[in-house]
């Protein structure tokens, strides 16, 4: 797993199941640093989207309540084996990352 | 009346303490044949005591030949390959980065960790083992602690997150390889004997031993609050593991610490010789069981 996303897409019948694990601290901005007593700045994923053949098949708005290192899964129709699926996330500090995988 | 009541109370305390001494070894010592390794489990969990009734025993015996449902036999069979994406995999990647950066700075570290072989592939399956040079039993975590102490600027202590993560990586390189602890070496055999004693030793305010919940005839296999205590066989194969209730990676020795706190006993520091002996005992009971790291519990 180079980078922060671990992704797999499997087709069974009509449905393609995409599973993803994202490595991210997901700080709420409410926690305090025990040593310095200062608040740890908020750092969480705000947008997650998944594209297949140029078309967005899933998009989600996330907030601070999502856990650290979030795992999520969803299903969609219309993909064939060998197609490429791209997952992208954007966080509140402007960071983003995307990863592509092949439907198996 | 008062002195008399006090006398009765005192007598009660003495009677209770005498009873405690008497019952220290009251748990029937279940015959465990160390040479059988994980196959000794069959005499443990294929019993009516474990399943509660003959019907349940027969029903669950049929699950053994069913690869999709065999995990229902015991929670420990629910290994990492069933849940293919969990934070344990992130831990493996972090461990790989750590070990790679340490060994690129200091090649001697990798040499020490792999005992001169240069590759860590499949090495963890033979741990814990006896090290002649150091004259003590080494676990994977202890090896990392020792090698970091001798070759790195800073010692990576057992129980620290860095030690756990790198141990997870080292063990993941042996994933799928059956555990083979060498019982023929005398120090390992002695550690096994000591570990077996500790397994039956009652300690703490609640006067519990490991055997109180993990031998046939105890609550093993029955409901204990929301859980079912398992047999001690094959249980160490998935450590260090990602613990969902804690949200962290947990090595075996920190699991012992957690057990001791729940038994209202004073925990020992990770890497203590007593914990190492217990690990040897449990690893011998997991001989022939494949290492399943990273895993989720």
0.90 surpassed by pTM: no
Q: Nearest by CB to B90, which of A8, A20, A23?
A: A23
For residue B237, is pLDDT > 50? Answer: yes
The total domain count for chain A is 1
Peptide bond into B294 cis (omega under 30): yes
Residues of B in contact with A5 (CB under 8 A): none
How sure is the predictor about B213, in pLDDT bands with cuts at 50, 70 and 90? Answer: confident
Residues of A in contact with B85 (CB under 8 A): 6, 8, 19-21, 71
Q: What b/e readout covers B144-160, taking b as 16+ CB neighbours within 10 angstroms?
A: bbbbbeebbeeebbbbb
Rounded to an integer, what distance in angstroms lies between the CA atom of residue B152 and that of residue B149?
6
For residue B235, is pLDDT > 90? Answer: no
Here the contacts of B67-76 (C-beta below 8 Å, separation 24 or greater) are: B73/B45, B74/B45, B74/B230, B74/B231, B75/B228, B75/B230, B76/B230, B76/B234, B76/B235, B76/B237, B76/B238
**Lowest mean pLDDT segment, chosen from A29-43, B21-35, B181-195:** B21-35
Residues of B in contact with A19 (CB under 8 A): 84-85
Highest mean pLDDT among B56-65, B76-85, B97-106: B97-106
Closest CA–CA distance from residue A77 to any residue of chain B (Å): 22
Cα atoms in the 13 Å half-sphere on the side-chain side of A70: 18
Residues of B in contact with A68 (CB under 8 A): 247
Domains in chain B, please, with CATH? 43-73 (no CATH), 87-172 (1.10.760.10), 186-284 (1.10.760.10)
Q: Do A21 and B86 touch (CB under 8 A)?
A: yes
Quick one: average pLDDT of B138-162? Answer: 92
Residues of B in contact with A23 (CB under 8 A): 90
Quick one: average pLDDT of B253-278? Answer: 93
Task: State the average pLDDT for chain A.
Answer: 90
Higher pLDDT, B28 or B13: B28
Give me the pLDDT at residue B22, please.
44
Q: Nearest by CB to B86, which of A8, A23, A71?
A: A71
Quick one: average pLDDT of B198-209? Answer: 89
How sure is the predictor about A46, in pLDDT bands with cuts at 50, 70 and 90? Answer: very high
Quick one: average pLDDT of B4-15? Answer: 50
Give me the pLDDT at residue B157, please.
92
Task: State the average pLDDT for chain B.
Answer: 81
Q: Do B85 and A8 touch (CB under 8 A)?
A: yes
Closest CA–CA distance from residue A78 to any residue of chain B (Å): 24
Q: How far is CA B269 from CA B85, B209, B241, B243, B246, in A?
A: 32, 19, 19, 20, 19
Q: How far is CA B45 from CA A10, B85, B92, B148, B231, in A?
A: 36, 29, 32, 41, 7
For residue B220, is pLDDT > 60? Answer: yes
Q: Nearest by CB to B90, which of A19, A20, A69?
A: A69
How sure is the predictor about B2, in pLDDT bands with cuts at 50, 70 and 90? Answer: low
Range of the domain at A41: 5-102
Q: Which residues pair with A8 in a beta bridge?
A: A19
Quick one: average pLDDT of A64-73? Answer: 90
Residues of B in contact with A8 (CB under 8 A): 84-85
Q: Nearest by CB to A71, which of B85, B93, B247?
A: B85
CA-atom Rg of chain B in angstroms: 21
Rounded to an integer, what distance in angstroms lies between the CA atom of residue A76 and that of residue A60?
14
Higher pLDDT, B109 or B77: B109
Interface of B with A (CB under 8 A): 84-87, 89-90, 93, 247
Quick one: average pLDDT of B3-30? Answer: 52
Cβ contacts below 8 Å, chain A against chain B, sum to: 23
Give me the pLDDT at residue B20, please.
47
**Lowest mean pLDDT segment, chosen from B122-126, B218-222, B274-278:** B218-222
**Lowest mean pLDDT segment, chosen from B19-23, B132-136, B257-261:** B19-23
For residue B172, is pLDDT > 70? Answer: yes
For residue B222, is pLDDT > 80? Answer: no
CATH number at residue A35: 2.60.40.10
């Amino acid at each position: 797993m180079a980078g922060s996303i671990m992704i797999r897409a499997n087709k069974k019948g009509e449905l393609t199941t995409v599973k993803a694990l994202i490595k991210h601290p997901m700080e709420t901005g409410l926690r305090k640093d025990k040593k310095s007593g200062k608040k740890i700045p908020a750092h969480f994923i705000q947008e997650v989207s998944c594209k297949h053949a140029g078309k967005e098949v899933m998009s989600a708005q996330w907030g601070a309540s999502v856990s650290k290192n979030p795992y999520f899964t969803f299903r969609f129709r219309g993909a064939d084996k060998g197609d490429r699926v791209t997952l992208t996330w954007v966080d509140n500090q402007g960071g983003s990352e995307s990863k592509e995988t092949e439907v198996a | 009346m008062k002195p008399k009541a006090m006398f009765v109370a005192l007598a009660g305390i003495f009677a209770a303490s005498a009873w405690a001494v008497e019952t220290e070894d009251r748990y029937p010592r279940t015959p465990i044949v160390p040479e059988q390794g994980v196959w000794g489990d069959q005499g443990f969990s294929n019993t009516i005591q474990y399943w509660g009734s003959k019907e349940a025993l027969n029903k669950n015996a049929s699950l053994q030949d069913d690869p999709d449902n065999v995990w229902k036999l015991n929670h420990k069979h629910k290994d990492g390959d069933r849940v293919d994406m969990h934070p344990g995999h992130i831990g493996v990647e972090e461990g790989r980065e750590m070990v790679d950066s340490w060994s690129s700075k200091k090649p001697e570290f990798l040499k020490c960790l792999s005992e001169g072989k240069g590759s860590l592939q499949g090495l963890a399956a033979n741990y814990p083992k006896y090290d002649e040079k150091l004259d003590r039993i080494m676990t994977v975590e202890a090896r990392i602690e020792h090698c970091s102490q001798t070759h790195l600027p800073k010692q990576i202590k057992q129980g620290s997150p860095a030690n756990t993560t790198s141990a997870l990586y080292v063990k993941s390189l042996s994933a799928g390889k059956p555990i083979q602890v060498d019982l023929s070496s005398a120090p390992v055999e002695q550690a096994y004997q000591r570990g077996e004693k500790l397994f039956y030793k009652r300690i703490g305010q609640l006067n519990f031993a490991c055997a109180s919940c993990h031998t046939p005839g105890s609550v093993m296999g029955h409901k204990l609050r929301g859980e079912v205590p398992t047999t001690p066989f094959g249980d160490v194969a998935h450590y260090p593991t990602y613990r969902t209730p804690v949200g962290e990676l947990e090595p075996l020795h920190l699991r012992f610490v957690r057990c001791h706190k729940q038994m209202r006993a004073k925990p020992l520091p990770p890497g203590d010789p007593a914990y190492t002996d217990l690990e040897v005992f449990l690893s011998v009971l997991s001989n022939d069981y494949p290492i399943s790291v990273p895993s989720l519990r």
